[in-house]
Each structure stands twice: as structure tokens, then as C-alpha cells.
Amino acid sequence: MVLGGGKQFVQDEEKQQLLLEEHTEKHFTAGEVVRDVIIGVSDGLTVPFALAAGLSGANASSALVLTAGLAEVAAGAISMGLGGYLAAKSEADHYHRELQREQDEIDTVPDVEAAEIADILSQYGLAPQEYGPVVTSLRNNPKAWLEFMMKFELGLEKPEPRRALVSAATIALSYVAGGLVPLLPYVFVPEAGRAMAVSVAVTLAALLFFGFVKGRFTGDRPFLSAVQTTIVGALASAAAYAMARAVQSI
Amino acid sequence: MVLGGGKQFVQDEEKQQLLLEEHTEKHFTAGEVVRDVIIGVSDGLTVPFALAAGLSGANASSALVLTAGLAEVAAGAISMGLGGYLAAKSEADHYHRELQREQDEIDTVPDVEAAEIADILSQYGLAPQEYGPVVTSLRNNPKAWLEFMMKFELGLEKPEPRRALVSAATIALSYVAGGLVPLLPYVFVPEAGRAMAVSVAVTLAALLFFGFVKGRFTGDRPFLSAVQTTIVGALASAAAYAMARAVQSI
């Protein structure tokens, strides 16, 4: 039956290739850049917006709200951007450390690593005579063996080299772009109260739109995503407003 | 040779188990809760710190710096916490959508999915007679087949049910904890300039300590991590300070 399975698949190989080619995978995964833009914009739209609303609630002038808001945008962009850079960097370092460790284990304790292949495959109900040939083949192909262990034992994907830098720049710029939306009204409207009203209207609209687009990209229901994103922004600014009021009244 | 490989492994199975038991995996991966604490504290230590420094640079009073700082902490905690909640939620939804889709494909186009198993395994230099038995076995065990495709085709891990809520609470509380450190000096020192000096000293020390601990947990070199984390905080507050000054001088 084992060899039967093998033979059958040798014969079917061409058929398989045809099947694979005509079958386009419909599985969706948001690209990493899209994910970074989403991280940056959603925070950028939310926190400076909430801070500005909070300060307006504390009777600050538009000039001061703008000062605080832009200072926050600068700080947030650098914190998130460099944070994103270091996170991606440390992810890549982690991958290479694990790669080296796995390579060492394959060199020094090959029987253990071979037993780990067997252990992994047996979790899927495979019998020794079924996974045996796989283990034997991988042992004869150390490069493929290493890749197999990285993916199937550790679940680690090879990171792109320039990923960290791109991620940092994307998140930072997205944060600035998002953060300027709620702050612009304070540039043109000197009276903070009025500026806040405009800022709230503009930003809630932006949150709805952005949440919708986000939903489209991440595969969530766009309208649900739009509402959720807007509620987060509204709650955050309400909390900031209440907090500012409370501190003022002390 | 195929059956040979199989036989050999039937015989070696007990030996393998012993090997696996005596071999403790040394691979390190930071727990998700630790990761959430790190996300929250690093941003909490950085952004409110930078904002406070920036406003002090704009000759704001300690009371106002505190108002803005606490408003920012409230906004940031909610934005990051709920953001973390929605992210984890949408990750879980994504997993279940893909699980359903994969199940449908196994039911409706089993030959295609079988060809995908072959395609995945052949990437590791496996010949049809080597992966054939695996494909055959998985086809006879639909539950294991589905799990195999989720992990090895899509690289998706089953999410914990309560993950989203725990993640939200952890990030939010960590952000508040981190954010209070740079703000406390402004509570006790009325003159913003002096308060800033204290805040800078206290927060840089906290960033060094936190970066060191972070490095220990993530497997990075602790001292390097301490320096990197501190530099991010310093750069962010320098940028916020410069931005506040610039806006003021307009």
C-alpha cells in the first residue's frame, strides 16, 4: 500500500501540476507594507486627535493644542517607526540565531533532529512506514532538512533583508499622515472650541473611511471595521477629554 | 529503499522517543503576553515622555504638561489596547475563515489539495515515491489533512480564544504603567523646567533598565537592547522638543 501510494503519485505527477496551475489560491493575507500602513494611520488618526480634543477640553488655545499635537506626532512617529525598525530587526536576528542553532543540532545530534521530523509528522496521524521515507530523504539533503525544521518545527519564515527599514519608514510616515488630519483644523481656526468641532467631524469621517478601507485589506467586513475603528477613536478622545477635564479641576 | 526507510524507522521508533525525551529544545520564543507588555511599556515610556519634554520646551506650566501628558496616556492606552484587541480578534477571524475555506477545498477539490501537499513536500527535495505515502495517509485522515494544510500551506496557528481580551488589557495597562513614569515628576515639581530635568533623568534610567529586561526576554543582547531603547526615547523627545519650539516660534 505504501509503495502503491508512491507509484500512484509518480503516475499522477503531471496531473497534479496541471491541477495546481489551474487552481489559483484564494487565501488572502494582507501584505506586510499594508499592515504597517494600517498600524501607523490608525494610531496617527486616533492619539493626536484624542490629545487635541482633550486639551481643547482643558480650555487650551488652538496654538497650544497645535504645539502639543505636533510634538506628539513627532514623538509618536519616531517611537513607532524606530520601534517598528527594532522589532523587525530583532525578528530577523532571532531567525538567524535559530537557523544557526538548528544547523548545529543537525550537525551534532542528527538522530535527535531526525526523530523530531518523525515526531512532527506523526502528529498528523502518519505511521512510521509513511513518514520514514521523508525522514530518510531529508537526512540525505541537509539544506532542505534545515529549511524543513525552520518552517515545520519552529514555524519561522525567512525575513526579507530590507524589511526592517521599509517597515520603519512606512509606519512613521503613515503615523504623520494620520496625525495631521485632526490637527489641521487647529491651524485655521484660532478658537480651540470651534477648531475641535471641525477636527472631530473631519477625523470621525476619516476614521470611518480608513476603517472601511482597512476592512477591505484585512478581509474583515468593511462596514464593521469602519464602525469599530471610529468607536476606538471616539472612545480614546472621550477618555482624553475627560482626563484633561479631571486634571484641570484639581 | 522506500520501504527500507520505512522499516528502519519502525525499528528505531522507541529509540527516537528516548532521544526526543532526553533532548530538551533550547529554542527561545518570547511569550505573547511578554510581547504585549513590551509593546505597551516601550511606547508608554517614550511618547508621554517626549510630549512632556516638548511642552516644557514650549514654556508650558507643569500643570499643563501634566494635563496633556495624562490625556495622551489615556488616549494611547485606549488606542493601543482596543487596537490590540481588534488586531487579535481579526487575526482569529482570519484563521477561522481560512479554516473553513480550506475545509471546503478539501471537500470539493480534494485532488487539488492533495496536489498541494505534494507541491509543498517536493519543495524540500522529496521525490513522489517519498511523499506519496504521506499524501495517501493524509487523504485517508481528513482532520489531520486540514491541520496539515493550515500549518504547512498557510502557516497559520490556531489562536487562543481569550487571546484578544488578554492582549488588550495587557497592552493598555503596560502603556499606563510606562506613561506614568515620565509624568510623575510634573506632579511634584511645579516649575516645568526643573520637572523636565527630573523626568528626563528618571525616564532615561527607566528606558535603560526596561531595554535591558526586554533584551533578556526577546533573546537580543541585553546591553545593546538597553542602549537602543534609550536612544529611541531620547530621539523621540528631542524631536518633540524641537517641534514644540518650532511651532512656538511661528
Contact A3 B3 (CB under 8 A): yes
Report which of B217, B220, B210, B200 is spatially closest to residue B178, judged by C-alpha positions: B210
Nearest to B137 among A13, A20, A127 (CB): A127
Q: Is the ipTM of this complex over 0.90?
A: no
Interface mutation target, options B23, B79, B121, chain A, most CBs of A under 10 Å: B79
Contacts of A72 in chain B (CB under 8 A): 47, 50-51, 54, 72, 240
What torsion, rounded to 10 degrees, do the Cα atoms A108, A109, A110, A116 define? -140
How much is the pLDDT for A19? 61
Helix intervals (H) in B58-191: 62-108, 110-122, 128-139, 142-148, 163-188
Distance CA B210, CA B213 (A): 5
Contact A244 B23 (CB under 8 A): no
Q: CA torsion sign, B201 to B196 to B232 to B246?
A: negative
Our CA-based measurement puts residue A7 at a distance from the nearest CA of chain B, in whole angstroms, of: 6
Contact A50 B74 (CB under 8 A): yes
Q: Say how many Å lie between the first and final Cα of chain A, rounded.
A: 81
Residue A41 has pLDDT above 70, yes or no: yes
How much is the pLDDT for B17? 61
3-state secondary structure B155-172: CCCCCCCCHHHHHHHHHH
Contact A94 B43 (CB under 8 A): no
Contacts of A132 in chain B (CB under 8 A): 5-10
Give the chain A residue whose CA is nearest to the CA of B155: A155
Contact B51 A72 (CB under 8 A): yes
How much is the pLDDT for A131? 84
Between B65 and A89, whose confidence is greater? B65
Residue A95 has pLDDT above 60, yes or no: yes
Give the chain A residue whose CA is nearest to the CA of B45: A79
Portion of chain B with pLDDT greater than 90, in percent: 26
Contact B112 A23 (CB under 8 A): yes
Work out how many CB contacts closer than 8 A connect A with B. Answer: 346
Distance CA B236, CA B242 (A): 10
How much is the pLDDT for B184? 95
Nearest to A137 among B51, B126, B242 (CB): B126
What torsion, rounded to 10 degrees, do the Cα atoms A35, A31, B38, A78 define? -60
How much is the pLDDT for A169? 92
How much is the pLDDT for A195? 92
Interface mutation target, options A29, A35, A129, chain B, most CBs of B under 10 Å: A129
Rounded to the nearest integer, the mean pLDDT of chain A is 83
Average pLDDT over residues A86-98: 84
Contacts of B128 in chain A (CB under 8 A): 6, 9-10, 13
Per-residue pLDDT tens digits for A102-161: 899 889 888 888 888 888 888 888 888 888 888 888 888 888 888 888 888 888 888 877
Q: Which parts of chain B register pLDDT below 50?
A: 1-11, 25-30
Interface mutation target, options A34, A130, A180, chain B, most CBs of B under 10 Å: A130
> Looking only at Cα atoms, what is the longest distance across chain A?
82
Give the chain A residue whose CA is nearest to the CA of B55: A68
Contact B54 A76 (CB under 8 A): no
How much is the pLDDT for B85? 84
Report which of B83, B172, B170, B47 is spatially closest to residue A230, judged by C-alpha positions: B83
Contacts of A10 in chain B (CB under 8 A): 128-129, 132
* CB of A104 closer than 8 Å to CB of B116: no
B48 Cβ neighbours under 8 A, 6+ residues apart: B69, B72, B73, B76, B178, B179, B182, B183
Our CA-based measurement puts residue A73 at a distance from the nearest CA of chain B, in whole angstroms, of: 8
Between A31 and A43, whose confidence is greater? A43
Distance CA B226, CA B214 (A): 8
For chain B, count helices (H), then strands (E).
9, 0
Average pLDDT over residues A197-207: 94
How much is the pLDDT for A5? 42
Interface mutation target, options B17, B237, B243, B250, chain A, most CBs of A under 10 Å: B243
How much is the pLDDT for A18? 62
Distance CA B235, CA B204 (A): 11
How much is the pLDDT for B29? 42
Our CA-based measurement puts residue A189 at a distance from the nearest CA of chain B, in whole angstroms, of: 16
Per-residue pLDDT tens digits for A211-226: 998 888 877 789 998 9
How much is the pLDDT for B26? 45
Give the chain B residue whose CA is nearest to the CA of A120: B148
Contact A132 B55 (CB under 8 A): no
Contacts of B168 in chain A (CB under 8 A): none
Our CA-based measurement puts residue A163 at a distance from the nearest CA of chain B, in whole angstroms, of: 18
Report which of A52, A49, A42 is spatially closest to residue A181, judged by C-alpha positions: A49
